[in-house]
Amino acid sequence: MQFHVITLFPEMFSALTESGVSRRALQNALYDLKTWNPREFTHDRHKTVDDRPYGGGPGMVMMYQPLKDTIDAIQSQSQSQSQDVGDKKSKVIYLSPQGRPLTQAKAKQLSKLDNITLLCGRYEGIDERLLETEVDEEISIGDFVVSGGELPAMMLMDAVIRLLPGALGHNQSAEQDSFSDGLLDCPHYTRPEEVAGMKVPTVLLEGNHAKIDAWRQIQKEQRTQERRPDLWQAVQVQER
């Protein structure tokens, strides 16, 4: 998996490359990450990437040209790297609250692509003409606004990376199924058996694994009903 990230803040991506599962997956060459700074595709002395919005209003909008030239550079580099780019599955994704929601199912689809270009907006957004012509999918990670697309892009990348074959150990890879059954996860406990007057549920101490599985399933269902009626509804529909 090759990630290309278009960002004014490439240093932020060290959060992925320097820690945890995503760091190990990079070391093991399960994916590669290349950042592209649109400032390097400007031609003026001030390296201008933004301008005032037509129609007025607060803030600034990212200009078409530096972003278009960045995307063109990514595409010509990927092409020169392999002669069979025609067979490569590639997508340009823009992270924004206007996108369709990121789900575990979407992360799984994306994990099957060869190339993902993530476009990270800043300021008040990006000139719509760039989005219309260059972006394949607009994806949201939730109904809130942050200061730019970088953190959302990293969340999407992390969700995808941990699905790449070999990214997780054997034990953990089965565990992923806890969300792909559409339910929230069950509670977890570790030693000691009692802490601050609170005991571990006895079923977990008895070693009856059929009983433990049944308990965990009930916990998942109860929590999903209580906390995420929307997910519970979707599971009911699936099973109909």
List residues near ligand 9WO by CB under 6 A.
Answer: 58-59, 95-97, 121, 124-125, 140-142, 145-146, 148-149, 152
The yes-or-no answer on residue 97 being catalytic is yes
* C-alpha span between 7 and 123 (Å, rounded): 12
The yes-or-no answer on residue 177 being catalytic is yes
- Give the end-to-end CA distance of the chain in Å, rounded to a whole number: 36
**Min separation Cβ 149 and ligand 9WO, Å:** 4
Element at 101 (helix H, strand E): strand 90-101
Q: Which is nearer to ligand 9WO, 114 or 137 (CB)?
A: 137
Cis peptide upstream of residue 192 (ω within 30 degrees of 0)? yes
Residue 215: helix, strand or coil by DSSP? Answer: helix
Q: Which is nearer to ligand 9WO, 120 or 168 (CB)?
A: 120
**Residue of 23, 53, 97, 228 marked catalytic:** 97
**Min separation Cβ 97 and ligand 9WO, Å:** 4
**Min separation Cβ 36 and ligand 9WO, Å:** 16
Torsion, Cα 55 51 11 130, to 10 degrees, reads 70
Cβ contact 95:67 at 8 Å: no
The yes-or-no answer on residue 127 being catalytic is no
Q: What is the DSSP string of 155-212?
A: HHHHHHHTTSTTSS-HHHHHHTHHHHTT-PPPP---S-SEETTEEPPGGGGS--HHHH
* C-alpha span between 48 and 50 (Å, rounded): 6
**Min separation Cβ 140 and ligand 9WO, Å:** 4
**Min separation Cβ 101 and ligand 9WO, Å:** 9
**Residue of 122, 127, 150, 162 marked catalytic:** 162
Which residues lie across from 93 on neighbouring strands?
Answer: 118, 137
DSSP state of 39: G
Any residues with CB less than 8 A from the CB of 199 and at least 6 apart, and which?
193
**Residue of 84, 132, 177, 239 marked catalytic:** 177
Q: Which is nearer to ligand 9WO, 140 or 222 (CB)?
A: 140
Q: Which is nearer to ligand 9WO, 69 or 138 (CB)?
A: 138
**Residue of 72, 124, 128, 175 marked catalytic:** 124
Enzyme catalytic residues: 97, 124, 162, 177
